[in-house]
Amino acid sequence: MSIPTTTERLKVIQKRLGVDDDGILGPDTLTRMEFIIDEVLGPLEIEPVHNLVVSREGLEQIVQFEISSESYYKKRLSHPIWPKGYSGITIGIGYDLGYHLKTQIKKDWKGRISDTDLEGLADVSGLKGDAANAVLSSVNHIKIPLEVAKVVFYTSTLSKYAQMVRKAYPGVQELPADAQAMLLSLVFNRGIKMSGSKRREMKAIQSLVVTKDLNGIAEQIRLMKRLWNKSELPGLHIRRDKEAQMIANAEDGYKSSELVFI
C-alpha cells in the first residue's frame, strides 16, 4: 500500500471542508479551517492576520476575469502573452512581469518552473507596452501549467495585492465582502497609482470608501471605461461593468462558508 503524499492528504481534507480540492493550501482552504477550529476551540484572543475579507464568489470572479476558464487558459494562456495597452508580458493568472521586480519574480516562481525559464522571465521584468511586445517572442515558448499558476496566485499574489488595497483605500475592510473583492480586482488590474488624469477615478474612490458609498464607488469604476477603446479592449469594459455591478449590489450577511480571509 503506497503512502499518500502531502498533496493527496490535503485534497482529501479539502473535500471534507467543502472547498475546491486543488491541493493548494491557499486562503480559501485556510479560511474554512480557521472557521472550524473556532467552532471547536473557540475564537482566537489575538487579532487574525489578514488584510481583506472577500466573498468566495468575488474571488472566483477575479480568476474568471483573468483566465476566462480553465480550458481557455490551457489553450491560450499557458504561455506568456502581451494583453496590449500598457501591460507587460503576463503569465499565469494575471501575473504581469512588467509590474514586478526581478527579485520578486524569482521569489514567486523559483522551484515551480525551470531555472532557465525563470531567468528568461526575469529578463523582461519592468517592460511595458510596445517594449514588452517587442520581446514577447523571446519568452513565449515557456509553458506555465495552470496548477503552477494557481499556486503562485493563491499563496503569493493575492496576499500582496490585498495589502495594496488596504494601503490604497483605508477603511476598505469595513465594506461588504463583495465590495472588498471587487476593489481587489481593480487594484490587481490597475495597481494603486493615484496621480494624473488617468487615475482621477482611482483617487476619487478613496473618499467614497471612507463614507461606504457603494453606488459612488461603482460609478467611478464605470467612468474608468473612458480610458480604453471598447473595440480594442472590450474585456476591460466588461470587467469594469461587472466590478461596478457587484459593488453596487454588495450586502453584508454572508455565511462563513462564503467568505475568504486574505
* pLDDT tens, position by position, 88-141: 999 999 999 999 999 999 999 999 999 999 999 999 999 999 999 999 999 999
Question: Which candidate, 67, 114, 127, places its Cα nearest to that of 94?
Answer: 67
Q: What is the pLDDT of residue 46?
A: 58
Distance CA 183, CA 202 (A): 10
Q: How confident is the model at residue 14 (pLDDT cuts 50, 70, 90)?
A: confident
Residue 243 shares a structural domain with residue 123 = no
The residue count of the chain comes to: 262
Residue 210 in any domain: the answer is yes
Asked if the model's pLDDT at residue 257 lies above 90, the reply is no
pLDDT of residue 153: 95
Structure confidence at residue 127 (pLDDT) = 98
User: Of the residues 110, 129, 144, which one is the last residue of a structural domain?
Assistant: 144
Assess if residue 48 is contained within a domain.
no
Answer whether residue 47 is part of any domain.
no
Claim to verify: residue 114 and residue 227 sit in the same structural domain: no
Q: Is residue 259 part of a domain?
A: no
190 shares a domain with 219: yes
Chain-centroid distance, C-alpha 69: 15
Does residue 106 sit within a domain? yes
Is residue 196 assigned to a domain? yes
Cα torsion angle, 21, 25, 31, 32, sign:
positive
If asked whether residues 152 and 231 sit together in one domain, one would say yes
pLDDT of residue 44: 67
Mean pLDDT of 222-240: 96
Q: Are residues 172 and 239 in the same domain?
A: yes
If asked whether residues 168 and 70 sit together in one domain, one would say: yes
Same domain, 230 and 128: no
Residue 63 sits in the same domain as residue 186: yes
Which of 146, 211, 217 lies closest to 185, judged by CA?
Answer: 217
Segment 173-201 shows an average pLDDT of 97
- What is the residue range of 171's domain? 56-74+146-253
Q: Is the pLDDT of residue 201 over 90?
A: yes
- CATH number of the domain where residue 161 is located: 1.10.530
| Of 239, 109, 105, residue with least CA distance to 184 | 239
Q: For position 47, what pLDDT does the model report?
A: 62
195/23: higher pLDDT = 195
Same-domain status, 121 and 193: no
- Please answer whether residues 261 and 33 qualify as being in contact, where contact means their C-beta atoms are separated by less than 8 angstroms: no
Structurally, how many domains does the chain consist of?
A: 3
Q: In the chain, pLDDT over 70 holds for what percent of residues?
A: 97
Q: Tell whether 260 is covered by a domain.
A: no
Record the cell numbers describing residue 237, joined without a space.
Answer: 469594459
